[in-house]
Amino acid sequence: MKKKICILGLGYIGLPTAAMFATHGHQIVGVDVNQDVVQALNQGKIIIEEPYLDIMVQAAVTSGNLTASTEPTEADVFIIAVPTPMKEDKTADMSYVEAAAQSMIPYLHKGNIVVLESTSPPGTVEELLVPILSQSGLKVGEELLVAHSPERVLPGKILMELVENNRIVGGINQRSCEAVRDLYRTFVKGDIFLTDATTAEMCKLMENTFRDVNIALANELAKICEAMNINAWEVIALANQHPRVNLHQPGPGVGGHCLAIDPWFIIEKQPQLAKMIALGRTINDSMPAHVLQRSMEILSTVEGRKKVVILGVTYKPDIDDMRESPLVQLIHLLEQEEDIELVVVDPHVKDCPYLQKDLWKALEDSSLVILGVNHQAFAHLDFQRMKQVMKDPMILDTRNFWDEKDLNQVGFHYFLLGKKNEGSIL
């Protein structure tokens, strides 16, 4: 049965979800406080970068199944997909969820379904959302069904993973679970597992915490290998030949709205117990400062003002998302250093401090290139030309993206995160 669905929040999760439901026949009203987002959507356009999303949105808007507004409306289903950022004290800012829940109260009626998709600390549905929704006068769990169904998608593959990935539905009771399961079965081909709301919230957080802690292990290994003058990337490649070992890869830090934030939501709830989780966050948050230290060691041989070019500023390759990017933190650290001129090159980003769209102009008279993000656009650069325009041909590769021997043959001094080499030409 086709439903009218009001989706609050039209960001990286809300908009693809809205488009997916709309193209499967449901009538969708997308709600966002950003007038530019609303105006663009009503014209069949999007202002975020995600493969094929523009085509799906245009089709949904053209069909009349998808419209946007700055205010909620009466509907059969309300889905909250607003941000849950982290405050300065590392606790969750739930003000957007609260505001979204409050805004829908005048439009709720008997038989409605409310789904929280936003990632949230365990207990949010029971302790925050249900009390707000109770203000409607409806009996929650009977007249108003409520559940948490967290997104589990990867930017760059969102539309595919919305359909193919397994999904968790955590309801406040069995009726809520089954109603939300049936709703998402509209397009989800993966399995849908039912549980309670708090367990679903914890599952989403632990999925990302697992990855964050394992990346922290890789980053700690990188530091150890640098100190011992061996190559962390070789250690990882060989250790992973063991059938029960899967070491992750090191890098300049961990970013994005999930891995860099979700572990803190667990720490917030159980700070005395979440010791390993907290240590993992500390290690990963230390990596921009470590990259800075390596950079300054490399630049110590250069006299006078030093031009540093950072290639890539998003938190992962081939997307435009800079949320919690460790490269942004690296920029902040570098701009505090004396005699450093900063330039950033990223083909996926429209607005960023020190951004230069022309790669070759950016490289002119530079002393160090920091490969921060392994965008495909950087995979096959003209290194001969690159060396010619640079003042000092030095590279710090934080992703093991380029071939050291090839660069040495061209004449570069190549440095690799996780390997304490001297960058000498072999």
CATH number at residue 302: 3.40.50.720
Within this chain, do residues 294 and 171 fall inside the same structural domain, yes or no? no
Written as six digits, the tokens of 192 are 């849908």
Distance CA 79, CA 118 (A): 9
CA-closest candidate to residue 337, choices 296, 297, 366, 368: 296
- What is the H or E stretch that residue 180 is in? helix 174-184
Domain end among 284, 319, 340: 284
Within this chain, do residues 255 and 146 fall inside the same structural domain, yes or no? no
Within this chain, do residues 181 and 234 fall inside the same structural domain, yes or no? no
Domain membership of residue 424 (yes or no) is no
Instruction: Identify whether 225 is a catalytic site residue.
Output: no
Within this chain, do residues 291 and 275 fall inside the same structural domain, yes or no? no
Which of 6, 177, 204, 419 is labelled catalytic? 204
Distance CA 182, CA 78 (A): 15
Within this chain, do residues 352 and 337 fall inside the same structural domain, yes or no? yes
Instruction: Identify whether 204 is a catalytic site residue.
Output: yes
Distance CA 199, CA 241 (A): 34
Cβ atoms of residues 180 and 148 within 8 Å: no
Distance CA 360, CA 314 (A): 20
Domain end among 204, 236, 268: 204
Total structural domains in the chain? 3
Within this chain, do residues 32 and 167 fall inside the same structural domain, yes or no? yes
Domain membership of residue 423 (yes or no) is no
Place of tokens 């290994």: 221
Domain membership of residue 421 (yes or no) is no
Within this chain, do residues 214 and 263 fall inside the same structural domain, yes or no? yes
Distance CA 245, CA 242 (A): 5
CA-closest candidate to residue 22, choices 55, 81, 65: 65
Which of 6, 177, 258, 352 is labelled catalytic? 258
Within this chain, do residues 265 and 145 fall inside the same structural domain, yes or no? no
Domain span at 276: 205-284
Reduced to 3 states (helix: H, G, I; strand: E, B; else coil), residue 394 is: strand
Within this chain, do residues 34 and 142 fall inside the same structural domain, yes or no? yes
Task: Give, for all 426 residues of the chain, the pLDDT tens digit.
Answer: 899 999 999 999 999 999 999 999 999 999 999 999 999 999 999 988 888 999 999 999 999 999 999 999 999 999 999 999 999 999 999 999 999 999 999 999 999 999 999 999 999 999 999 999 999 999 999 999 999 999 888 888 999 999 999 999 999 999 999 999 999 999 999 999 999 999 999 999 999 999 999 999 999 999 999 999 999 999 999 999 999 999 999 999 999 989 999 999 999 999 999 999 999 999 999 999 999 999 999 999 999 999 999 999 999 999 999 999 999 999 999 999 999 999 999 999 999 999 999 999 999 999 999 999 999 999 999 999 999 999 999 999 999 999 999 999 999 999 999 998 665 443
| Start-end of H helices in 24-152 | 35-42, 53-63, 95-104, 124, 130-133
Within this chain, do residues 54 and 173 fall inside the same structural domain, yes or no? yes
